[in-house]
Chain A
Amino acid sequence: MHDALLFLAAFLASTVEMVEALTIVLAVGVTRSWRSTGWGVGLALLALAAIVALLGPALTRLPIDALRIGVGTLLLVFGLQWLRKAILRATGLKAMHDEAQIYEEEIDEAAHAARVERAGLDWYAFTVAFKGVFLEGLEVAFIVVTFGGTQRNVPLAAAAAAAALVLVLAVGAVVHAPLSRVPENTLKFGVGLMLTSFGIFWAGEGAGAHWPGGDAALLGVLAFVAVLSFALVTALRPAAEVVSEGSDA
């Protein structure tokens, strides 16, 4: 069961981040140079693969309790950041992520940036594509290494992330436009729920707590975090509407 949730969390996180990276890559590719953009994407993916290949096996050598308390705490802090933003987006207190709008902004910026050639590449296209893919992918690498390391199954987490990457690339190549119809904000909510739940479960276990029902308690934690989050969204919506009415006036 944990492996299925591990796969799902890594797959969803990777899908969300790769959709965001694809928007940047398409914008610089279309506006500047596909060759330079391709180099940026390729090198960023290589760097991310190297991080996972180096850190993943290193983490699995740590004692399981130390790993769970360390990784669980990190995941919990990191996951709460995702969940907090997802709740604020769902209530209207934070702007929704809009790929179509971001694409237009990136196109505009790329069209006006100066053309500088370095190593035979359009340096703007190369660096923007590299940074876009590397920074979005770093969150995926973090999830793959921490989830995979704690579950002693880095290859499964990496396979989930790679599957999402292939899927987004394939759809992106066919559609040739930002994937604005992907329910990105909902996916982010789901990833936040899973990161937070795994974080609570592992950090608690690493700190010496014994979960009632053993491993099955993870589902209970997930249900608790989901109910809590939806309750917060419901409670905050009226407050957000007051803010919205106030700013409309």
Chain B
Amino acid sequence: MRWVVAFGRFWYDFIVGDDWIVAAAVVAGVVATWLVSRTGVPAWPLLPLVVAGVLGASVWRVARARRESP
């Protein structure tokens, strides 16, 4: 069982890394792109916008945490 947990943790760290919100936002962005593309509305701007938002928020959170830590 310990091996399974260690294996899962390794792949989680490998793919997802420090900020799981980034991964969750990307998955949500891909799902939203799929849904919007079904309606006939151009869906291509969605993922670049999601990336801009989530990347900016992620690095900003690190900067804020560093500023607030003693």
Contacts and interface: CB of A to CB of B under 8 A. Distances in A.
A236 B60 contact: yes
Interface string B1-44: 00000000000001111110011001101110110011000111
Contact of A207 (B37, B42, B60, B67): B37
Interface string A136-148: 0011001000000
A232 B42 CA distance: 27
B33 A208 contact: yes
A174 interface: no
B48 A221 contact: yes
Contacts of A208: 33-34, 37-38, 43
Contact of B43 (A74, A93, A94, A209): A209
A81 B37 contact: no
30 contacts: A69-B34, A77-B16, A77-B22, A77-B23, A77-B26, A80-B26, A81-B18, A84-B18, A84-B59, A87-B55, A87-B59, A88-B59, A88-B62, A93-B63, A138-B14, A196-B51, A200-B51, A204-B30, A204-B43, A204-B44, A204-B46, A208-B37, A209-B37, A225-B48, A228-B51, A228-B52, A228-B55, A229-B55, A240-B63, A246-B67
A1 B64 CA distance: 40
A175 interface: no
A242 interface: yes
Contacts of A243: 63, 66-67
Interface residues of A, number: 44
Given A84-B59, A87-B59, A207 B43 contact: yes
Contacts of B42: 209-210
Nearest to A77: B23
Contacts of B59: 84, 87-88, 91, 93, 232, 236
A212 to B, nearest CB: 7
A239 B46 CA distance: 29
Contacts of A73: 26-27, 30
